[in-house]
Amino acid sequence: MSFGESHGKAIGGVIDGCPAGVDLSVDFIQRELNRRRPGQSEVATPRREMDEVEILSGLFEGKSTGMPIAFLVRNQNQNSKDYTHLRELYRPSHADYTWEKKYGIRDYRGGGRSSAREHIARVVAGAVAKQVLAGYGIRIRAYASQVGNVVLTRPYSELELERVEENMVRCPDPETAEKMIALIRQMREEGDSIGGIVSCLIEGVPVGLGEPVFDRFQARLAHAMLSINAAKGFEYGSGFAAASMRGSEHNDPFVVRKGEIHTATNYSGGVQGGITNGEDIYFRVAFKPVATIMKRQKTVNRAGEVVELEAHGRHDPCVIPRAVPVVEAMAAMVVLDLLLEARMA
Amino acid sequence: MSFGESHGKAIGGVIDGCPAGVDLSVDFIQRELNRRRPGQSEVATPRREMDEVEILSGLFEGKSTGMPIAFLVRNQNQNSKDYTHLRELYRPSHADYTWEKKYGIRDYRGGGRSSAREHIARVVAGAVAKQVLAGYGIRIRAYASQVGNVVLTRPYSELELERVEENMVRCPDPETAEKMIALIRQMREEGDSIGGIVSCLIEGVPVGLGEPVFDRFQARLAHAMLSINAAKGFEYGSGFAAASMRGSEHNDPFVVRKGEIHTATNYSGGVQGGITNGEDIYFRVAFKPVATIMKRQKTVNRAGEVVELEAHGRHDPCVIPRAVPVVEAMAAMVVLDLLLEARMA
Amino acid sequence: MSFGESHGKAIGGVIDGCPAGVDLSVDFIQRELNRRRPGQSEVATPRREMDEVEILSGLFEGKSTGMPIAFLVRNQNQNSKDYTHLRELYRPSHADYTWEKKYGIRDYRGGGRSSAREHIARVVAGAVAKQVLAGYGIRIRAYASQVGNVVLTRPYSELELERVEENMVRCPDPETAEKMIALIRQMREEGDSIGGIVSCLIEGVPVGLGEPVFDRFQARLAHAMLSINAAKGFEYGSGFAAASMRGSEHNDPFVVRKGEIHTATNYSGGVQGGITNGEDIYFRVAFKPVATIMKRQKTVNRAGEVVELEAHGRHDPCVIPRAVPVVEAMAAMVVLDLLLEARMA
Amino acid sequence: MSFGESHGKAIGGVIDGCPAGVDLSVDFIQRELNRRRPGQSEVATPRREMDEVEILSGLFEGKSTGMPIAFLVRNQNQNSKDYTHLRELYRPSHADYTWEKKYGIRDYRGGGRSSAREHIARVVAGAVAKQVLAGYGIRIRAYASQVGNVVLTRPYSELELERVEENMVRCPDPETAEKMIALIRQMREEGDSIGGIVSCLIEGVPVGLGEPVFDRFQARLAHAMLSINAAKGFEYGSGFAAASMRGSEHNDPFVVRKGEIHTATNYSGGVQGGITNGEDIYFRVAFKPVATIMKRQKTVNRAGEVVELEAHGRHDPCVIPRAVPVVEAMAAMVVLDLLLEARMA
């Protein structure tokens, strides 16, 4: 459960169902939040907010108590008046039009509730989930695998994922990272934006997560990923490439390694019949280019009149670098939820 | 809610929350079911079952009463003994291994609960949802857009979707359909299988469906699609192609047409900020090649011994033709659920 | 999840989430169903239906598979035309008026979905839950503790609950049972009906069931009990009597017995702070007199005209005897649900 | 969703699903909160906290936006060290023992999460619900109808409910109120506590609320009421008295008044077949005497040793006066939830 608007008092959330007795580091939560923070690098929006998390409940003497963990991050620039010109018009490919039609009212300041600032709540909750999962040997790591036409083609098994944080685009391959950064810089200069793909690897998940038939592991993961702002697609294992494969090449033969049953290949992406099979889980999430661009655009206002719109400063030309921790956070919550539903935690 | 195993007594389900007072045609439900029925054409499995639906409750004098609508389809060949040889072994890329590990027990006959026969329940429920949606002017149509390397590249707006049922592969372009059928025939002859993609168009959805922030329209749709057997990926609107697009080309400008606000292009796929915007909704679902192939494969059994497996007759070499009505059914349920949640029905 | 109408094709349900690998006796389920069956004794309605249960799914070789267990009981007299005279009028203190206003349509035959025949589904599901709970040493037994002014005042600890089935009113005290039966007979002769109370004891529940703060054990139990037809009130432990008690007499002192912590008294009814404390759980459910009586009554019809109504034969003058297994069934489902939610099963 | 512990940083909650566009007065919310506030009168605990509510989200220019409304009330005395002596022992009839056993950890300061301070969140959310309901002409008023043996026997229709706030025990009958207050004073002097009953009237509810069969109106209400601290029983309409009534006296005959269908009597308490029938809804909730008393009590500690316990100052001898607004708040949430589920709001 998350709450809060971009320019309201705070963004926050309540985590319900966290197991009791887990050591939870607030420092770790803050560090994860810093990975999503605006203004952290040249390729991210220069809007600088401290985004400091406060835990309100559910923690006692450093441990979770099993009770709801509420938290909040106060917004710094809540009183800014930058946004009044957006009151009457609908920005292209933003939520302005649909939210206003659905609710009859919208907080137009910085996108209000539809702003990606809402992701703060997800990162905090994900940081809690990650700490619980660590106790079960489960690790989740995402990275930039595509920005525009710059594509990281090597499979995850050939990458050094511990290097993800070494560059500001969060691509584990330094050479590709350079190209991605160059492209994002170019977009910034041109006042344009660019899409991309985040890939994610989940290691250490035991056999048995996923609840057939409607709550298959991949269904829950897809739900979570498509709930992220700007996400346009999801695939796991072989994904869309499976469409042009044959069964004889796609099937993952079972083999025995060190006395345990494994699969020789992993086109299944760690999930068979909707249930995890103990292999690595990997998936990819496509993101559209940011809708806010620095170019002049035509749009319409409430009265149905054509108007011109031009955004100013302070926006990411590409969501990918800051989407990486959000993808990880959502994945962590899905895995922990299903671990609990399977009564394995 | 669905229930039933491939070789148990019946497959069925209970539809909860269907609005009262809707005229429901059982004939229409049966016709939809016939579209999914095995043995309906040369490219589908020759296993012939009548799959006749019986409605048990929730209908009175031809109308829904608002009460749960229960239905069942009796299985014809429930006593077959074809499957005892599968008792001890794990078929590659099937659910055998994961379900047995999760539950400690599995109905090994024809995949049991993990069989695609479970989709019967979805098609029946979807046929009810379609009838309710028709009253709101909402229409859902899916079609085969890729089988192996045979790709239908033309966008939905250039296709004659009313021709989908004219060929057995359910591709609205006759020429492409022929190529798809030829490829599936080849797979059958080679004892192999092939993947593909189903595309789907939803027309007539009003502005306002989708519940921010976690139950965005696309998140619910992705959840539903990835819960279908063999589905590997989902994308809507521009989808994965958005990754290499710029904001200036991807943004959908608002325009006024006939006094109503629309978008000039529709890369958004009918959804903005997680809420439908009144434009056409379109999305694609990738499916893997069927895991059951007629070639000899190595696998392991419960004891961890390597064994050989060879399937016999009676299996679709490609799920795409019969997945088309399942995709439509799941889409119908998602749209109706969100219409009800938005209190617009 | 239950489905079905009194005079539709069948009453049934689907049990979701039953743990896998439990030996389930269909005979036991049928025996429980027989306890609720109409026409079983002189004090119950003479309407005779066999109420034979058929299990459709979720069972394999006598064990639960973890998959949904669907079941149905076909209605015998579904084509009867006894009820057309009820089409236009609203019986006093029945669901006729409210359901018609809410749904705009109702199956008027025998109360349709609002009939107590729906309880069949609860008894079947409860019989499954009881079998699962038996594996954890949990036992649930209800009994008639009041019929009209005939009150069984002795506390449960002084009763021989194994004698409940010895008389047709299901009161464990033979003397009180006789008086209850006499009163019900008198009601039948007078064409009237009478209310009563069912008491229930749950033994063997471990410490820890109940999910604070909204899903306290007693809250879930109250929800379940008030969902039974004709139920008017719920109390647990000291119940309404607590209103006139002092803290110094009501508090249950902790003591140590055989090395384990217990309470010396049990006004708490086995629940403290919304969580079971390992002591006996006991509660009481009040039922109103059956609304269908053999006396002439005035009421109104759809047109708002005053009309006369007189029921004929075939109705219980008191729900208590047949409510006993329903109370047990609902209690069993609540306990099992909370055992699963606490991840203790 | 509520969060927070008695001596943590704050008590708060998040209201999800509040309709958009409703004028919400924060002043009204604060006034409702003041009715529950400790130290408000001589019969309530002298522990003085301001309990000031802060709304964090979901409100824009004084109106609800349809987004989650988060709020919090900071605790004033969170750093007190009064409670360390409770760390090792289990207070009789408190949640200490069960919560510690369930979670393995507990915030022992002032009962932590099990404290009645959690009701703050309910009162705030209820105050929001009340404002929404007022727009539909629905009004909810509760009052003290019993304290110990002091019983208000007159039915609600003979009472002047607008006088409830005139005395500190919240009994609308001044004479009975005096007796109640005298009894509570006596309890305080004796260091003891006393139970009681809160009655509640809901007026203006339209026909049609309640979702058969498991979410009947009364089932949801019972669930909500039994989730309140210290509640021991619930009854609606005739309640437990129905047990000794006959059908011929209990049935509510339908009549036509001013062209509308009503019932002549209202033993049904405004609900028939689980659905509201448009008549007044009334119900009663029994509360146990407060477990914290100023008398010396024996109990055991973690080590299983018998220890003595004696509480000091600052506790209500009777929950009834401050339970009145909590009962109203929970009722308001149930009614609004069901109004929304029925798609009537």
What pLDDT is recorded for position B310? 83
What pLDDT is recorded for position D40? 79
Q: What 3-state class would DSSP assign to C303?
A: coil
What pLDDT is recorded for position A217? 98
Q: What 3-state class would DSSP assign to B22?
A: coil
Interface test with D, best of C240, C279, C285 (most D CBs within 10 A): C240
- Residues in chain A closer than 8 A to C67 (CB atoms): 212
- The two three-digit tokens of residue D6, written as one number: 């008695």
- Residues in chain D closer than 8 A to A70 (CB atoms): 3-4, 10, 12, 72
Query: Which one-letter DSSP state was computed for residue B72?
Result: E
Q: Residue C319 and residue C116: Cα distance in Å, rounded?
A: 10
Q: What is the pLDDT of residues B76-88, one digit of tens each?
A: 865 556 677 788 8
- Name the residue facing B235 among A221, A232, A245 (closest C-beta): A232
Is D4 within 8 Å of A57 when comparing Cβ atoms? yes
Residue whose entry in the numeric block shows the structure tokens 């929006």: A45
What pLDDT is recorded for position B56? 98
Q: Is residue B48 predicted with pLDDT exceeding 80?
A: no
Helix (H) or strand (E) holding D308, with range, is strand D306-309
Average pLDDT over residues B189-208: 97
Q: Which chains have 3 or more CB–CB distances shorter than 8 Å to chain D?
A: A, B, C
Cα–Cα–Cα angle for A296, A299, A302, rounded to 5 degrees: 140
- The two three-digit tokens of residue A178, written as one number: 């350079």
Q: Is D340 on the interface with B (CB under 8 A)?
A: yes
Is D3 within 8 Å of A112 when comparing Cβ atoms? no
Higher-confidence position of A281 and A41: A281
Q: Residue A279 and residue A330: Cα distance in Å, rounded?
A: 20
Q: What is the pLDDT of residues B211-253, one digit of tens each?
A: 999 999 999 999 999 999 999 999 999 999 999 999 999 999 9
- The two three-digit tokens of residue D260, written as one number: 């509308």
Is B274 within 8 Å of A95 when comparing Cβ atoms? yes
Binned at pLDDT 50, 70 and 90, residue C78 comes out as low
What pLDDT is recorded for position A291? 95
Higher-confidence position of B162 and B44: B162
Binned at pLDDT 50, 70 and 90, residue D48 comes out as low
Average pLDDT over residues D123-132: 98
Average pLDDT over residues D170-195: 97
What pLDDT is recorded for position B189? 95
Residue whose entry in the numeric block shows the structure tokens 């169903």: C33
Mean pLDDT score across all residues of chain A: 94
Burial class (CB in 10 A: 0-12, 13-18, 19+), B155: exposed
How close is the nearest chain B Cα to the Cα of C165, in Å? 33
How close is the nearest chain B Cα to the Cα of A162, in Å? 24
ipTM of the complex: 0.96
**Smallest Cα–Cα separation from B68: which of A38, C3, D128?**
C3
Binned at pLDDT 50, 70 and 90, residue B47 comes out as low
Binned at pLDDT 50, 70 and 90, residue C149 comes out as very high
- Name the residue facing B223 among A223, A245, A277 (closest C-beta): A223
Binned at pLDDT 50, 70 and 90, residue D46 comes out as low
Query: pTM of the entire structure?
Result: 0.97
What pLDDT is recorded for position B283? 98
Burial class (CB in 10 A: 0-12, 13-18, 19+), D175: exposed
Residue-wise over D103-117: b if at least 16 C-beta within 10 A, else e?
bebbbbbbbbbbbbb
- Name the residue facing A113 among D4, D5, D67 (closest C-beta): D67
What pLDDT is recorded for position C85? 78
Q: Residue B95 and residue B114: Cα distance in Å, rounded?
A: 6
Average pLDDT over residues A58-71: 97
Computed on alpha carbons and rounded to an integer, the radius of gyration of chain A in Å comes to 21
- Residues in chain A closer than 8 A to D71 (CB atoms): none
What are the two backbone dihedrals, phi and then psi, of residue A108, each rounded to the nearest 5 degrees?
-80, -5
Average pLDDT over residues D161-188: 96
Q: Is residue C114 predicted with pLDDT exceeding 90?
A: yes
The answer to whether B245 and B216 have CB atoms below 8 angstroms apart is no
Q: Is B214 on the interface with D (CB under 8 A)?
A: no
Q: What is the pLDDT of residues A127-173, one digit of tens each?
A: 999 999 999 999 999 999 999 999 999 999 999 999 999 999 999 99
Inter-CA distances, D252 with B10, B137, D262, Å: 44, 44, 9
Query: Which one-letter DSSP state was computed for residue B294?
Result: S
High-pLDDT (> 90) share of chain B, %: 88
Q: Residue A146 and residue B242: Cα distance in Å, rounded?
A: 11
Q: Is A21 on the interface with D (CB under 8 A)?
A: yes
What pLDDT is recorded for position D80? 59
Q: Is residue A65 predicted with pLDDT exceeding 70?
A: yes
Q: What is the pLDDT of residues D69-105, one digit of tens each?
A: 999 999 986 555 667 778 889 999 999 999 999 999 9
Q: Residue A326 and residue A330: Cα distance in Å, rounded?
A: 6
Q: Is residue D261 predicted with pLDDT exceeding 60?
A: yes
Of A67-81, C87-101, C237-251, give the lowest mean pLDDT range.
A67-81
The answer to whether A230 and A246 have CB atoms below 8 angstroms apart is no
Residue whose entry in the numeric block shows the structure tokens 């659920």: B337
Q: Is residue C46 predicted with pLDDT exceeding 60?
A: no
Pairs of residues, one from chain A and one from chain C, whose beta carbons lie less than 8 Å apart:
7
Helices (H) and strands (E) in chain D, counts: 7, 17
Please report, as a single letter, which amino acid is at residue D21. G
- The two three-digit tokens of residue A261, written as one number: 């049953």
Helices (H) and strands (E) in chain B, counts: 7, 17
**Smallest Cα–Cα separation from B64: which of D211, C113, C27?**
C113
- Residues in chain A closer than 8 A to D112 (CB atoms): 60, 65, 67
Burial class (CB in 10 A: 0-12, 13-18, 19+), A327: buried
- Name the residue facing A104 among D4, D20, D113 (closest C-beta): D20
The answer to whether A57 and A70 have CB atoms below 8 angstroms apart is yes
**DSSP sequence for C195-226:** -EEEEEEEE-PPTT--BTTTB-HHHHHHHHHH
What pLDDT is recorded for position C311? 79
Query: Can you give the three-state secondary structure of chain A, one letter per residue?
Result: CEEECCCCCEEEEEECCCCCCCECCHHHHHHHHHHHCCCCCCCCCCCCCCCCEEECCCEECCEECCCCEEEEEECCCCCCCCCHHHCCECCCCCCHHHHHHHHCCCCCHHHHHHCHHHHHHHHHHHHHHHHHHHCCCCEEEEEEEEECCEECCCCHHHCCHHHHHHCCCCCCCHHHHHHHHHHHHHHHHHCCCECEEEEEEEECCCCCCCECCCECHHHHHHHHHHCCCCEEEEEECCHHHHHHCEHHHHCCCEEEECCEEEECCCCCCCEECCEECCCCEEEEEEECCCCCCCCCEEEEECCCCEEEECCCCCCCCCCHHHHHHHHHHHHHHHHHHHHHHCCCC
Q: What is the pLDDT of residues D138-156, one digit of tens each?
A: 999 999 999 999 999 999 9
Q: What 3-state class would DSSP assign to B247?
A: helix
